[in-house]
Amino acid sequence: MADISATDDAWWRGAVIYQVYPRSFADADGDGTGDLAGVRSRLGYLRELGVDALWFNPWYPSPMADGGYDVADYRDVDPMFGTLADAEKLIAEALDLGMRTIVDIVPNHVSAEHPWFREALAAGPGSPARELFWFRPGRGAHGELPPTNWPSQFGGPAWTRTTEPDGSPGEWYLNLFDSRQPDLNWAHPAVRREHEEVLRFWFDRGAAGVRVDSAALLTKDPALPDLPARGEPDPHPYVDRDDLHEIYRSWRAVADGYPGARILVGEVWTPDPERFARYLRPDEMHTAFNFGFLCCPWDAERLRTCVDTTLAAHRPVGAPATWVLCNHDVTRTVTRYGRAETGFDFATKAHGVPTDLALGTRRARAAALLTLALPGSVYLYQGEELGLPEAEDIPADRRQDPMYLRTGGADPGRDGCRVPMPWSGTRPPYGFGPEGGAEPWLPQPDDWAGRTAEAQSGDPDSMLELYRAALRLRRREPALGDGTLTWLDAGPGVLAFRRDASFACVLNLAPHAVRLPEHRAPLLASGALDGDRLPPDTAVWLRT
Ligand code: GLC
């Protein structure tokens, strides 16, 4: 059995980390939902793909009000996914194949079914059990108005009113997300203690790291001020507050108590690169998702500025950058890059915006080579290696995302990027589950036969083989992964950089082909080269 402690302490600085959405990865028991036995049966695929670690979206017991981000028990596995013993086996087997495991920790809120919240509801106003959450009387003559004007991230107010045992309306509680996800009170020592123990629980079971959900939202201004009608308040009552950092310092101390570099990866959404980098100071988190890059439009100047800003922000704290194109919350890359508006923005997400999938795919291929050549580590969301598009025609009655449900459908929500993986065969469930099993929890499109792992395997022009080839080269090339880059002057619309004297990456975002810089040989290209010219929306790795 592989030993997690006997390994390279800097593994995370240049790792390629594959994101597994367990509900949609592989369904071994045929109930229509992915499970840990399914993941275990596909570990060979992940190893062949060539990734260094796996990050799993939450697998804990949960009523699934928000796809498992409503956790009822942080120390177990939901029966829909398997058992705790399955998770332990999965972690060990993945490590034996050279892949570390990162688990998802959800500290901002719990499920309304979590014992703490049930107890708080039962104990009533003024009880110590309610102090673990944000219970407050309402405003207005009869307490009929929420305590503040804060909006839920999923639409509607961020407060839900309780009902007393006699049926009369009671206090309100804070939920920045769904009403079934009450926010914890991080000023309470029991909340802090509990999460440090949860970290130890998973590190004890061989987890190499934790992904910290909604990492910038945990602490709140206890005065609970309203948000101003216009502009961003500074400091914000619940986003990116200074008192968050001592929490992560204590988590870092927990992680550092374990052998083999256990890492903290933050989900930190903040537009300010300097504020972002504060989470990555040497005694805080190791890395955080680069959402600035994920949101960046397909534009040479914007991308270059984003890369420069990212690297400049990380340099003073000594943390490696991360490069992220997609995850379980955002529009699939090939769909986004095929639209007229190629950036990502939660606020302007819309149904049925036209997309050119051939164009989007060409760009996504080029973007794959860009991200895998940039200095730092890379996150790869399941299905991106198959070039899956966003599933935009999921019928309303099949949609599950609270973002869709709470906005009355105004926001399409995130189901479209969470559709179960197509593995093989020519029609649903495409090998996701056994033949004759239950229908997948979200419907798969009818036209995915060409996108299965089986159909793409061995096809040199497929997205899957591009990723496999790039990841193989990345492992071999000492210049790739952690390090620095030097820009080369390649003219307008073109991004070109060297990683060392012998490796360069060139990406053409101009509308016409461009001449390649001097080189010895191309190593890998995202599309056919035209002699020594690089066509539009194409990237190439060069031996220089
Ligand atoms: C994070 C997760 C998202 C979830 C939310 C609430 O943003 O990525 O999926 O809905 O937190 O936990």
- 12-45 per-position pLDDT tens digit: 999 999 999 999 999 999 999 999 999 999 999 9
Residue nearest ligand 1's atom 2 by CA: 213
465 is catalytic: no
Give the 3-state secondary structure of residue 128: helix
Tell me the pLDDT tens digit for each residue of 113-157: 999 999 999 999 999 999 999 999 999 999 999 999 999 999 999
Q: How far is CA 495 from the centre of its chain?
A: 26
Mean pLDDT of 473-489: 97
Residue 4 scores a pLDDT above 80: no
Q: Which atom of ligand 1 is nearest to the CA of 403?
A: 10
**With 90 as the cut, is the pLDDT of residue 7 above it?**
no
Mean pLDDT of 45-53: 98
The CB of 415 under 6 Å from ligand 1? The reply is: no
Q: Which two tokens stand for residue 23?
A: 């509900």
Distance 214 CA to ligand 1 centre (A): 6
At residue 220, does pLDDT exceed 70?
A: yes
Which atom of ligand 1 has the smallest separation from the CA of 414?
9
- Closest CA relative to residue 385, chosen from 333, 424, 441: 333
Is 69's C-beta closer than 6 angstroms to any atom of ligand 1?
yes
- pTM score: 0.98
Domains of the chain, each with CATH number or no CATH: 4-107+189-456 (3.20.20.80), 115-174 (3.90.400.10), 485-543 (2.60.40.1180)
Q: Ligand 1: which of 24, 184, 214, 346 to mutate, most ligand atoms within 8 Å of CB? A: 214
Q: Kindly state if the Cβ of 214 falls inside 6 Å of ligand 1.
A: yes
My answer on whether omega of the bond before 235 falls inside 30° of 0, hence cis, is yes
Q: Which comes out higher in pLDDT, residue 171 or 350? A: 171
Residue 351: its pLDDT value, please? Answer: 74
- From 57, 177, 403, the mutation candidate for ligand 1 (largest count of ligand atoms within 8 A of CB) is 177
Q: Is the dihedral of CA 400, 406, 407, 408 positive or negative?
A: positive
Report the pLDDT value the prediction gives residue 347, as an integer from 0 to 100.
85
Smallest CA separation from ligand 1 atom 9, residue: 329
Please indicate whether residue 401, judged by its CB atom, sits closer than 6 Å to ligand 1.
no
Is 106's C-beta closer than 6 angstroms to any atom of ligand 1?
yes
Exactly one of 52, 66, 178, 267 is catalytic; which is it? 267
Atom of ligand 1 nearest to the CA of 329: 9
Pocket test for ligand 1, best of 20, 59, 66 (most atoms within 8 A of CB): 66
User: Which atom in ligand 1 lies closest to the alpha carbon of residue 402?
Assistant: 10
Q: CB of 275 within 8 A of CB of 232?
A: no
The answer to whether the beta carbons of residues 509 and 495 sit under 8 Å apart is: yes
pLDDT at 414: 97
Residue position matching structure tokens 């992680």: 255
Coil, strand or helix: which one is 403? helix
Work out the mean pLDDT of the chain and round it to a whole number: 97
Please give the helix or strand (H or E) that residue 121 lies within, else none. helix 115-123
Confidence of residue 6 (pLDDT cuts 50, 70, 90): low
Task: Mark whether 537 is an active-site residue.
Answer: no
Reported as a pLDDT band with limits 50, 70 and 90, residue 314 is very high
Chain Cα centroid distance, residue 217: 16
Atom of ligand 1 nearest to the CA of 328: 9
